[in-house]
Chain A
Amino acid sequence: MAPVTGATSGAAEPELRAGHGRTPLPVRVTTPTARRIRPRDVFGTLPMATVLALRDFQSRYKQSLLGPIWLIVQPLTMLAGFTIVFGSVAKVGTEGIPYALFAVVGIAVWTTFQSSVLYGTRSIVANKGILSSMPVPRLSFISGTMLGTLPQFVFMVVLAIAAVPVAGRSLGPQLLLLPLCSLWLFALLYAIIMPLAAWHTRYRDVGSVVPFMFQAGLFLSPIAYPLSQVPEGLRTIMELNPLSGVVEAWRYALLGSEPSLLALASAAVWTLLLLVGGWTIFSRAEPRFADVV
């Protein structure tokens, strides 16, 4: 179909209707190019991604009593667990912020990270049937997964924003940075998912590694505790974790806590490097997904 194909694709896709030969038909030319997608196709394939995301959303909650309510059960359970373990038992210091409020921000970022990377990695293989019989732009499977995590994401963000005044604190002007923080998070996620999904088509090992990564990642990222509580030498290493910077930015926007500049800088560099690398890997593998999946 038009958006992704076309090394030398002539016309853009106009309204097509059978029988009306008035407008010239769009022409698709396919040659064995190493790469056929361009970065702007990320946006061009969004309508298709929306269709796929809606389909996944619809089918995920079929024959389920609570349906999409399950979306909010997972992060809320996590929040309750963290508040009990780290807030009451281990009494992690959170710079004077009530623990539940502190944790809700990190959990918002983490659950979005976890579900989009988990489903995103599998998204190409999971759509094998469509992939090998339909010319659906492959990028839309990645974007579709990201869109699919939006309901949960939005719920968590609203919860976090609402929790601030409830906890007796006030939101500062830095809240205006939140859209930018969201964009950053999704750019980083896109960058991580692209290569994982591409490798997963050839090597199913990737599907086994990813859940295992989450187990370690959750505790090695400053989700349940602030970076300031980490001992000096270890902290520098943790600041190099790309997720640290993003979580720091989120906490700054919502809670006004002082972010670690090293973490912010390293996350920015990581995001750029991963975007370039991830795009390179994905765009080279994408034309032949149907052959290897």
Chain B
Amino acid sequence: MSSEPAVEVVDLVKEYELGEIASLQHTVALVRWRLGGERPRSDTVRALDGVSLSIGQGESVAILGRNGSGKSTLVKLISDVTVPTAGLIRVRGRVMPLLSVGAGFRVELTGRENVMLLGSMLGLVRRDIAAAMEEIAEFAEIARAHLDTPVKRYSSGMRARLSFAASLGLPAQVYILDEVLSAADDGFKERAAQHLETLRDGGATIIFISHELALLERICQRGVWLDKGRVLREGAIDEIAPDYHVYLLELAEIKARNRGLRLEVEEMPAP
């Protein structure tokens, strides 16, 4: 194993446009502006505001943070789905992104065809995908007859299991999971966790976003806590996760109290 990190992120900034990109209303506003009226507002939001991070090869890292803290944006950028506004990303090896369940599935195609498609999109050759097929089907608990049935006939649970099994069953160096186990039942969750442990112990790098802290503590070594697009804290997962949990509870308590007082305090100061 080399000492070079699998994923390096330096001063990463990502801005998104706010509001509708195009609408008749918007067009009218633009015409008004051209005719000497007020300039229509165009705002941007900073989803990531200077994140730096280094993840070693074979390391498994949990990304924690509330909704809107920038977790998904960070993994989207690492997965090369979109480009940063500023900063730099360096990734070594093949990345397997599992950013949403069943994304990219063609429901008209069979389970087998979809696994082939997924593998090909990541640059794998047919032979390698076919070799992993048996194991993927078994992991997803999908019978042979179902594997050759269009995905549109699958139950949503089956789709989710196949999507998960296919992503983790295909060879890569870096696996990225963004909140993909929340819909799974406990049985599958357990097997998924075992599979992730096997991958981790086999030397794969794992970046894991989940709101299930117990699962994160089991799979990951390190935790990175994002808040408003910045790294708030990072360290060993068994330090970060409990603190994060306490923070969430306190936040909930403050919100409940404010509601009682009919006050609207949106943000709690970060610890």
Contacts and interface: CB of A to CB of B under 8 A. Distances in A.
Contacts, number: 132
B104 A130 contact: yes
Interface stretch (A112-120, A231-239, A268-276, A284-292): A284-292
B203 A19 contact: yes
A103 interface: no
B81 A55 contact: no
Interface string A120-133: 00000000011111
Interface size band for B:
35 or more
B150 A62 contact: yes
B221 interface: no
Contacts of A29: 88-90
Interface string B23-36: 00000000000000
A33 B83 contact: yes
A13 B21 CA distance: 36
A215 interface: no
CB-based closest 3 A-B pairs: A18-B171, A133-B103, A59-B108
Contact of B82 (A16, A28, A58, A288): A288
Given A13-B123, A136-B121, 5 more contacts: A59-B106, A129-B104, A134-B79, A135-B79, A290-B81
B92 A26 contact: yes
B121 to A, nearest CB: 5
Nearest to B95: A135
B109 to A, nearest CB: 6
A202 B93 contact: no
Given A17-B128, A133-B100, A55 B79 contact: no
B251 interface: no
Contacts of B85: 32
Interface in A2-54: 2, 5, 13, 16-19, 21, 25-33, 36, 48, 51
A135 B89 CA distance: 14
A136 B80 CA distance: 9
B76 interface: yes
Nearest to A18: B171
Interface string B91-124: 1111101011001111011000100010011110
Contacts of A31: 84, 87-89
A28 B103 contact: no
B173 interface: yes
A155 interface: no
A63 interface: yes
Interface of A: 1-2, 5, 13, 16-19, 21, 25-33, 36, 48, 51, 55, 58-59, 62-63, 129-136, 202-205, 287-292
Contacts of A19: 171, 202-203
28 contacts: A16-B93, A16-B94, A17-B128, A18-B172, A26-B92, A26-B93, A30-B88, A30-B89, A30-B90, A31-B89, A32-B85, A33-B83, A55-B106, A129-B104, A132-B99, A132-B100, A133-B79, A134-B79, A134-B103, A135-B80, A136-B121, A202-B22, A203-B21, A287-B83, A288-B82, A290-B82, A291-B82, A292-B21
A132 B102 CA distance: 12
A173 to B, nearest CB: 42
Centre residue among B92, B121, B203 by max chain A CB count within 10 A: B121
A2 B121 CA distance: 12
A130 B157 CA distance: 20
B104 A16 contact: no
A291 B17 contact: yes
Contacts of B122: 1, 134
A25 B204 CA distance: 13
Contacts of B248: none
A5 B79 CA distance: 11
B109 A62 contact: yes
A33 B90 CA distance: 14
Given A17-B128, A19-B202, A130-B103, A290 B76 contact: yes
A216 B83 CA distance: 39
A287 to B, nearest CB: 4
Contacts of A2: 123
Contact of A62 (B76, B81, B108): B108
